[in-house]
Amino acid sequence: MGFTITPAAQKFMRMMLRVDGGAGSGFRLAVSPGGCSGLAAEISVRTEPQAGDAVIERDGVKLFLPAESRILLDGVTIDFADTATQTGLVFHDPKQVSCGHH
Domain residue spans of the chain: 4-92
Q: What is the pLDDT of residues 23-38, one digit of tens each?
A: 889 999 999 887 665 7
Q: Are 90 and 77 in contact (CB under 8 A)?
A: no
Q: What are 41-98's pLDDT values in tens digits?
A: 899 999 999 999 999 998 889 999 999 999 999 999 999 999 888 788 988 888 776 5
Closest-CA residue to 78 (of 52, 39, 25): 39
Q: In what order do the strands lie in the sheet with 4-5?
A: 4-5, 77-82, 87-92
In this structure, whether the domain defined by 4-92 belongs to CATH 2.60.300.12 is answered with yes
Model-level pTM?
Answer: 0.84
| Sign of the CA dihedral with 29 first, then 31, 35, and 37 last | positive
